[in-house]
Structure 1
Amino acid sequence: MKPFFLPVILLVGVTVTNAQEKKVPHKAPVAEIRQAAVAFLEGLGPELRQQASFTLSDKERRAWSNLPATSFKREGVSFKEMSPQQRSLAHQLLQSTLSSQGYLKTTGIMHLDELLKAMAAERRPNNTPMFGHDLYWIGVFGDPAKDSSWGWQLDGHHLALNITVIGDEVSVRPAFMGSDPARLPEGTYSGWMVQGAEDEKGKQFFASLDKKQRAKAVIDDIAPRDVITGPTRGDQLKTPTGLPASDLDADQRQLLISLINEYVHNYEHNIAHIQMDRILAAGLEKIYFAWAGTEEGKPYYYRIHGPTVIIEFDNHFPPGRNSGAVNHIHTVFREPGNDYGEDLLRKHLLESPHHQVEE
């Protein structure tokens, strides 16, 4: 019987084909996000549509907060004002831009606020509700049906998402996510953590540092009370401090990248990869890691700061307390020079023919 070589030939062919494959560039799902935003606005009806609509330059675009609704007035349309059908369209808008991970964190924060509402009602039954799933607002900036540059925002207690579409690109920063309690201590959802990965990965990376590396990474023995670049404070950090990634070994670099990915991959797959490519293209060695809070059982804080990324995390005492369990997380995810898509907008204005002034 003659030897049968076909399987070997096929295997060789597959190998050659795979070797010749080129990396396909990631493209942000601009059409899908636009479609979801248009559907959301059309589903609101005239009055709520006007309430939800702003110009791209409106000051409301930068007016977001992590405070409860009774402490900071929001604009736009709240979930309280939406019908069930309109809420469904709002969730489709979230899903168009977020990954499954990011969507579950976002809705988890909103649900956690509902639990806070119930706990607050038990303590003070006659007070005006300051927490709850209803108290989150959506605003749309510009006209997604016509404009090449526009955006949308979700704003409420412990949650602010700022999305800007510029041509075929998407900016997803700044973003604020927080959780209180960080870990639910009792009840039906006992043990539930919305932001457990951000917490555990940060501690794991810090634990991997040797004595010499920690000496550079620790910027203070006491953690700050809050993130530095919170609402209205986006320009507070100018120069990276702490431990440069160039001082890390290969395993530690992978831990750092995994930690950054935890924030990046809150967004749709293609958006996340474009974000990560942008961060790494600026140079991993230019990224610094800083830590504050060295006493066991006390608040702690970490920061990742490079040319195109600022990530901050703190786990502190509950509001109004200076002791007890450390169980209150704040995080922020920013892009120096490109928050709200500022850099992309400048580039778009320079390169788009319809924005050029004829001489």
Structure 2
Amino acid sequence: MRPRTVASLAVLLPLAAFAYPRPQPADEVVAAASAFLDGLSDAQRTKALFTFHDAERGNWAFVPGQYPGVALAELDLAARRRAHALLRTALSETGYQAVLWIQRLELVLRERESKPGQPALHRDPERYSIACFGDPRTESRFGLRFQGHHVSLNLLVVDGKLDAGTPLFLGANPHELRDGPFAGTRVLGRADDLAHALLASFDDEQRARAVLPGEVPADIVLGPGRKAELLGAPRGIARSALRDDQRAQFDALLATYAGYLRPEHAERELARLRSRGLDEVTFAWLGASTPSTPQYWRLHGKDFAIEWCNVQNEANHVHTVWNDLSNGFGSDVLRAHLQGERR
């Protein structure tokens, strides 16, 4: 890794180093979003604001591109600080740092893909957009999206509470940095380690149930625009078939994904999943378990799925997504909210 890239990785997005106090009440997300919008120019605010029911709110993606909303690259330093304050308010510190590292990896890709006289400028840590669906300054509900290469965060705020957080997509290329001073860094390593540990804990009978036959998928199954039916019925080994210690590992893996969200929000999402019942949620694995080999695993219940796929770039390029199949983009929460309004 070139010294210049190393230096850029070290100082990229210095806004992260500002000591923002961690807000506690969930309604501070509304305040942070309002402050962000207030600090934009009229033209930028027009880009950032959509109506709540705009069809764009139901779109998500994770490939490199320019997405609707206002891009970080368009913002001055003060506006970028407010953008990061908003992200840090909406996410846990773990989630916020994961997003920062994913952005930093764009510089690694730029170095790898640039040619003499042809810098790979599409690999850009500032090519991420923020969009608000509904105006948090005047409306009791609004959607918030932060999106760019390997990140799609889709949050819903209803009456000052964070009530939905999927689809939640994160990716990392490379999954593991293998040279330079950051060698060994794996942005999404905790989920990887927990899944491997759970698989390694299985006896022969459990492993036979968990490991599915067939080829490793080329990517996550439930990508943008793809229907839940593509996964079929849950397959693999059910949580109810695990020992107590294995259930704890299973639960820790699930909690890792909720843990990208703000703590109060994460607990609400986990409580929602527990209320639906976790015993029949399955863990399934495809592929070998040795490093640098194509691997895919998922947690799958009747109404949610978490997928992990590490296939591309010699199995050093991860895509992972959490989909709530009954509450994507907060559809279930909104239904309940509207029913309450009619009473």
Same fold at TM > 0.5: yes
Gaps of 5+ in 2: 1-23
Structure 1 stretches of 4+ moved >3 Å: none
Superposition TM-score, scaled by structure 1 size: 0.84
Shift of residue 65, structure 1, vs aligned partner:
1.4
Report the counterpart of residue 14 of structure 1 in structure 2.
Answer: none
Question: In the aligned structure 2, how far is the partner of 1:118 from the partner of 1:294?
Answer: 31
**Residue type matched to 2:298 in 1?**
R
Q: Distance in 2 between matches of 1:286 and 1:198?
A: 21
Q: Which residue matches 2:208?
A: 215
Match of 1:54 in 2: 50
How many residue pairs match? The answer is 317
CA distance in 2: counterparts of 1:247 and 1:159, whole angstroms: 34
Once residues 202 and 36 of structure 1 are traced to their aligned partners in structure 2, the CA distance between those partners, rounded to angstroms, is 35
* AA of the residue aligned to 1:267: L
CA distance in 1 between partners of 2:237 and 2:107 (Å): 39
8 Å CA contact 1:38–1:144 kept in 2: the answer is: yes
Q: Deviations over 1:174-200 (max 9, x none)?
A: 110000000011123222111111111
1:17-52: per-residue Cα shift (whole Å, max 9, x none)? xxxxxxxxxxx9441110011111111121100011
- 5 Å-filtered alignment, 1:124-135, equals 125-126=117-118, 129-135=121-127
- 1:111 and 1:260 mapped to 2: Cα distance? 26
Q: Distance in 1 between matches of 2:56 and 2:267?
A: 29
Match among 150, 157, 163 for residue 165 of structure 1: 157
Is the Cα contact below 8 Å between 1:222 and 1:294 reproduced in 2? Answer: no
| RMSD between superposed Cα atoms in Å | 1.7
1:279 to 262, 273, 277: 273
Give, as a single letter, the amino acid of the residue that structure 2 aligns with 1:32: E
Residues 60-139 of structure 1 correspond to what in structure 2 (within 5 A)?
60-69=56-65, 73-121=66-114, 123=115, 125-126=117-118, 129-139=121-131
Q: Does 1:178 align with 2:171?
A: yes
Separation in 2, partners of 1:246, 1:87:
46
1:234-273 superposed matches below 5 A: 234-235=227-228, 236-273=230-267
1: CA distance, partners of 2:316 / 2:256: 20
- The equivalent of 1:148 in structure 2 is 140
Cα deviation code 1:286-342 (max 9, x no counterpart): 211111003744201110011343110011131xxxxxx421111001111101000
Are residues 1:289 and 2:277 paired?
no
Distance in 1 (CA, whole Å) between partners of 2:316 and 2:300 is 24
Q: Check conservation: 1:221, 1:294, Cα contact below 8 A.
A: no
CA distance in 1 between partners of 2:71 and 2:209 (Å): 45
Distance (Å, rounded) in 2 between the aligned partners of 1:173 and 1:65: 12
Report how far residue 230 of structure 1 moved.
1.4
Q: Percent identity between the aligned chains?
A: 34
Q: Is the 8 A contact 2:110 2:119 kept in 1?
A: no
1:238: Cα distance to partner? 4.6
Query: What's the TM-score, normalizing by structure 2?
Result: 0.88
Q: Are the structure 2 counterparts of residues 157 and 275 from structure 1 closer, same or farther at C-alpha, using a change threshold of 3 Å?
A: same
Shift in Å at residue 120 of structure 1? 2.1
1:202 has 2:195 as partner: yes
Displacement after TM superposition at 1:274 (Å): 0.9
Measure the CA separation in 2 of the matches of 1:29 and 1:219: 43
Q: In 1, are the aligned partners of 2:70 and 2:129 still within 8 Å (CA)?
A: yes
SS in 2 for 1:285: coil
User: 1:191–1:295: structure 2 CA closer, same or farther, 3 Å change rule?
Assistant: closer
2:321 to 307, 318, 332: 332
Q: Distance in 2 between matches of 1:125 and 1:300?
A: 37
Q: Distance in 1 between matches of 2:128 and 2:266?
A: 24
Alignment deviations for residues 95-145 of structure 1 (CA, whole Å, 9 cap, x no partner): 111111111101111111122123322x35425522111111111101111
Offset from partner CA, 1:214-240 (integer Å, 9 cap, x none): 111112343111011112225233521
Question: Separation in 2 of the partners of 1:339 and 1:332?
Answer: 12
Amino acid at match of 2:336: K
Answer whether contact 2:233 2:302 (CA < 8 A) is retained: no
Match of 1:284, SS?
coil
> Aligned with 1:147: secondary structure?
coil
User: Which residue is equivalent to 2:306?
Assistant: 311
SS at structure 2 position matched to 1:286: coil
Evaluate the alpha carbon distance shift between residue 53 and residue 108 of structure 1 in structure 2; reply closer, same or farther with a 3 A threshold: same
Matched-pair contact (CA < 8 Å) for 2:26–2:264: no
Which amino acid in 2 is paired with 1:159? V
Distance 1:75 1:173, change over 3 A: same
- Alpha-carbon distance between aligned partners in 1 of 2:162 and 2:87, rounded to the nearest angstrom: 17
Cα shift at 1:148:
1.9
8 Å CA contact 1:292, 1:301 repeated in 2: yes
For the pair shown, the structure with the greater C-alpha radius of gyration is 1
Q: Is the 8 A contact 1:64 1:74 kept in 2?
A: no
Secondary structure in 2 matching 1:290:
strand
Letter in structure 1 aligned against 2:29 = I
